Amino acid sequence: MKFRAVMIDAGPMREFSNVVTIISKLSKECVLRLSDDLIYFIVSEENSGPSPPILWCEIPQAMICSEYQLIGLDEEHKDIYLALNSGNLARSLVTLKTAKSLKMKLTKKQCPCLTLEIESPCTVSQQTRQVTHDIPVTVVPRKLWSDFHEPRVPDPDISIELPPLKQLRTTIDRMKTMASEVVIRASAEGRLTLQIKTDMAKVSTRFKGLRVEAFGGPIEHSDSETETQINEDMSRVCYCRVDAKKLSMFLSAEQISTNSTVCSIVHKKLVILCLQTDENIKLQCFISGIVY
């Protein structure tokens, strides 16, 4: 197995470090999957055994790396899966924002390591200084690869553009102090509603005029649950109840400069947040719905 990648552009390096920082906030452990054209970061739910990933991040290597070499086990198993501590990686990449270049290598130094060689400029002279981090990793054996396949999700009933993440996050952060669950409701008319209910109050925040990317047809509601709203055609509205803390955590991705953020909802089952940056880095979060 061999892996070697070099980054030299400041923009992609910053993005890369931002992505890793977000992942480190979501989970202690993550899996780095290296394939011929994509670098994946995969986060599974902690302490719940093999379960579909909750975060799926794809980075096209050609967009961020100037050099990329990968030799897997054999012809059939070209990819490399590495499990590593995401905090370790994030802390080592903190200095990447000012760095000149980053070299990533898979090395064996008493234990398998992902070696990061960061070349950063000196403050005074034209010369550079070399910083090397050896981050211990575990190579994921082939029989466990199936745990890290892209989650197969049902076709979403609606895909709607999200308002600015910062706004959304402050709203959610206020709401999560009052209730642990939040209902996300999206309508085909471009309305997104966040709603919480407590014994004392019902709070909802509405965003209007959002672009609807796709709508999967009329939604069937069982009447007992649905609140009748006179001015809305309920067959064009779908909703999902999710954990407020999880949602807020995913929204910490606000620091990535995205060019599109889309929220897809599978009615009452799943919320998928998808961020895409200019470098074609795709970050997908899966938050499963809470059903009573």
Partner 1 sequence: MKCHVPGPNVKVLARTVHALARFGDELYLESLPDCILLRTLNAAESAYAMVKFNKNFFSYFNYNYYSTEDNEGLKCKISMKSALNTFKSPTHIDKQVENLEIKLDPESCKLIFQLKCRHGIVKTHFVSILDCKAMQAVYTKDTVPNRITSPQRILSDALNNFQSSDDQVTLEATSMSLILRNYIDCSADLTKIIRTQISLKPAEFDSYMIGTETVITFSLKEFRALLTFSEALNLPLQLHFETTGRPAVFIVHNGTTFEAHFVLATTKADNASQTTTTQNTNIERSKRKDTSGTQGSAKKKPHLDPDISKCLDEDSHLFNFVDIPGDNEIILSNKLNGNHSINKDKTVNDLMDCDNIPASPAARTMIKSVFKRCFESTFDPRSIQGAVLAENSDSD
Residue numbers at the binding site for partner 1 (CB under 8 A): 85, 88, 91-92, 94-95, 109-111, 113, 118, 122-125, 127, 129-136, 138
* Radius of gyration of the CA atoms of the chain, in A: 21
> CB neighbours of 238 closer than 8 A, spacing ≥ 6?
157, 158, 185, 186, 219, 265, 267, 268
Query: Least distance in Å: CB of 158 to partner 1?
Result: 43
Nearer to partner 1, 125 or 229 (CB): 125
Nearer to partner 1, 120 or 167 (CB): 120
Q: Are the C-beta atoms of residues 151 and 56 closer than 8 Å to each other?
A: yes
Nearer to partner 1, 24 or 284 (CB): 24
Nearer to partner 1, 136 or 217 (CB): 136
Q: How far apart are CA 146 and CA 16, in angstroms?
A: 26
Q: How far apart are CA 227 and CA 9, in angstroms?
A: 52
Nearer to partner 1, 42 or 135 (CB): 135
Query: Least distance in Å: CB of 255 to partner 1?
Result: 20
Query: Least distance in Å: CB of 88 to partner 1?
Result: 5
Nearer to partner 1, 138 or 167 (CB): 138
Query: Least distance in Å: CB of 55 to partner 1?
Result: 22
Query: Least distance in Å: CB of 117 to partner 1?
Result: 8
Q: Are the C-beta atoms of residues 191 and 183 closer than 8 Å to each other?
A: no
Cβ of 141: how many Cβ atoms within 10 Å? 8
Query: Least distance in Å: CB of 7 to partner 1?
Result: 17
CA angle 160, 52, 260 (to 5 degrees): 25
Nearer to partner 1, 129 or 206 (CB): 129
| DSSP E strand stretches across the chain | 2-7, 29-34, 38-44, 53-60, 67-71, 80-85, 101-109, 111-121, 128-139, 158-161, 181-187, 191-197, 202-207, 212-215, 237-243, 258-266, 270-277, 282-288
- Specify burial of residue 199 (Cβ count, 10 A radius: 0-12, 13-18, 19+): exposed
Query: Least distance in Å: CB of 106 to partner 1?
Result: 14
